[in-house]
Amino acid sequence: MNIGVVCYPTYGGSGVVATELGKSLAQMGHRIHFITYNRPIRLDLFSENIFYHEVRTKDYPLFDFVPYESALASMMVDVARYHELDLFHVHYAVPHASVAYLAKQILKDYDLHIPVVTTLHGTDITLVGKNQSYEPVVRFSIEQSEGVTAVSKFLRQATYDNFQVKKDIEVIYNFVDTRRFKRQDKDHFRKMIAHGGEKLLIHTSNFRKVKRIKDVILTFARIREQVAARLLMIGDGPERAPAEELCRELHLCDDIIFVGNQNAVEEIYSIGDLFLIPSGSESFGLSALEAMACGVPVISSNAGGLPELVIDGQTGFTSPVGNVEKMAKDAIYILEDEARWKTFSENAYQHALNFSQDKIVPRYEAYYQQVIEAQKSVNY
């Protein structure tokens, strides 16, 4: 198959999943065309089956905002015509699903009928898409997609509840490359950070309000009262500065390390003892899955799709959003006993195998084929 992939090229979960999916499909022999405004962060693999098409925009004085959507639609049309695409897969509803609909209509003028699969990832449905400025377009674009997937049962239900769409939505969970994300011997690296033998806790996100970064700090502060520990904060975003200020107020600057965005996160996860994800909303929790694949138990909120990933009492613990006392108590319970930690670690690793790319990616491949065949039956 020739597949056009439209995504955000950043560190966010939708862009990561789109890129990793494309790379996996390319390894299976499919030709993957990434269409976006920058080279995706995770697109670090050279392959004869991977192509990157940069969407270029022009900034004219007439425009207050660069018309990216028009440029994207034009590029999608161009790639579909000249690379004989079989299907578009667009990740994140805003604005990609509506742009795909426009491109699809234009392509009909060239007697090309390219089906669209839209994957819903989270805040495109639970936050952004619900805004009255976008809601009618998002709903229409979902209805007009030939295929729609969601990354959790929670997100599928949220889509039905928020948009009242009648479209069948297929749940295909996010996945992890277990060949890359696995616990490695990085003892020398660990000693550089935890030179006093401290436990290492990790948080990864884009540091937005919904990630509840302050809860990460407050939970760690309570843990630190009973367990010698350090916290690695991976990522960047608008909530980083307030988080750093809170660290100063709590006199924890020596124990909390902000490392910014990182590509080789699997090396950091390999030295971790616990992963913290207290989000106020989380459609799935890809970063938690990647940590689990490296044998790191998870302390999370029970928001959104997290309970579909984190098995309470086995791979970690879930808590009501904002309950930092319980999260700290659960973390201490795991950390204070080495044998107990090893049990949780092994459970986390074994459960992560259920979400390996070898199990999930073929489901996308089969779904593409189903959508393409259905489109052919309509055209003929």
The stretches of the chain forming alpha helices (DSSP H) are: 13-27, 68-82, 93-108, 123-126, 135-144, 153-163, 187-193, 213-224, 240-249, 265-269, 286-293, 306-309, 324-335, 338-352, 357-379
Tokens standing for residue 359: 């199990």
Specify the pLDDT at position 71: 92
Q: At what angle do helices 13-27 and 286-293 cross, to 10 degrees?
A: 60
Please answer whether residues 277 and 345 qualify as being in contact, where contact means their C-beta atoms are separated by less than 8 angstroms.
Answer: no
Residue 367's φ and ψ, nearest 5 degrees, are -70, -40
φ/ψ (deg, to 5) at 44: -110, 15
Q: What kind of fold does domain 2-175+357-379 have according to CATH?
A: Rossmann fold (3.40.50)
Query: What pLDDT does residue 66 have?
Result: 72
Per the rule left: phi > 0, alpha: psi between -120 and 50, beta: everything else, 304 is: left
CATH class of the domain whose range is 187-355: alpha beta
Q: Distance from CA of residue 215 to its chain's centroid?
A: 21
Which DSSP string do the residues of 209-229 spell out, in sequence order?
GGG-HHHHHHHHHHHHTTS-E
| Cross-strand partners of 150 | 120, 171
Per the DSSP assignment, residues forming a β-bridge with 171 are 150
Least reliable range by pLDDT among 1-15, 273-287, 333-347: 1-15
Position 48 confidence tier, pLDDT thresholds 50, 70, 90 = confident
Indicate the domain borders of the chain. Answer: 2-175+357-379, 187-355
Q: Do domains 2-175+357-379 and 187-355 have the same CATH topology?
A: yes
The residues near 238 (Cβ < 8 Å, ≥ 6 apart) are 207, 208, 209
Question: What mean pLDDT, rounded, does the chain reach?
Answer: 92
The burial class, CB within 10 Å (0-12 / 13-18 / 19+), for 64 is: exposed
Round to whole Å and give the CA distance between 312 and 297. Answer: 11
Q: Kindly give the pairing relationship between strand 229-235 and strand 256-260.
A: parallel
As a whole number of angstroms, the distance between CA 222 and CA 330 comes to 11
Q: Is the pTM of this model over 0.95?
A: no
The per-residue pLDDT for 191 is: 84
Q: Whole-angstrom Cα distance, residue 28 to residue 40?
A: 20
pLDDT at 125 exceeding the cut of 90: no
The residue type found at 342 is: K
What distance in Å separates the CA atoms of residue 96 and residue 117, rounded to the nearest whole number?
Answer: 11
State the average pLDDT over residues 259-270.
90
**pLDDT 10s digits, 5-20:** 999 887 677 888 999 9
Percentage of residues of the chain with pLDDT beyond 70: 96
* CB under 8 A, 24+ apart: contacts of 104-109: 104/144, 106/73, 106/77, 107/77, 107/80, 107/81
Q: What is the pLDDT of residue 379?
A: 65
Q: Which H or E element spans position 91? A: strand 87-91
* Token output for 366: 């089969």
Residues 6+ apart with CB under 8 A from 96: 6, 7, 72, 90, 118
pLDDT range class, residue 241, cuts 50, 70, 90 = very high
**Would the pLDDT of 380 be above 60?**
no
Predicted local distance difference test score (pLDDT) of residue 128: 64
pLDDT at 129 over 60: no
Q: How far apart are CA 222 and CA 212, in angstroms?
A: 16
More confident position, 133 or 327? 327
The 3 state secondary structure assigned to 10-79 is: CCCHHHHHHHHHHHHHHHCCCEEEEEECCCCCCCCCCCCCEEEEECCCCCCCCCCCCCHHHHHHHHHHHH
